């Protein structure tokens, strides 16, 4: 994720799940974020990080929220 490489993790992201036929999904983005945070020992995603999921895909929305909520709760 070039934008993350250049600017780091923002304190707010609004996710969509379905980003286009040739793109990663929003869930792929979240998995990458969690992996980066694990690699940095919980110091990459800001402590004040918040997010929204505006996806029309209900399964994708649940997957994004489930992974992020569970990870951020366990990271505390």
8, 20, 21, 58 from 71: Cα distances, Å: 18, 26, 27, 20
Domain coordinates of the chain in residue numbers? 2-75
Model confidence, pTM: 0.90
**Amino acid 37: pLDDT:** 98
Number of neighbours of residue 55 by Cβ within 10 angstroms = 22
pLDDT at 70: 98
The answer to whether residue 76 scores a pLDDT higher than 90 is: no
pLDDT digits (tens, 9 = 90+) for 27-58: 999 999 999 999 999 999 999 999 999 999 99
């Amino acid at each position: 994720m070039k934008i993350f490489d250049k600017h780091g993790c923002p304190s707010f992201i609004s996710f969509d799940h379905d980003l286009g036929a040739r793109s990663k999904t929003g869930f792929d983005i979240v998995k990458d974020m969690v992996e980066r945070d694990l690699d940095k020992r919980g110091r990459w995603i800001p402590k004040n990080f918040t997010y929204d999921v505006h996806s029309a895909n209900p399964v994708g929305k649940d997957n994004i929220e489930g992974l992020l909520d569970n990870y951020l709760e366990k990271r505390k």
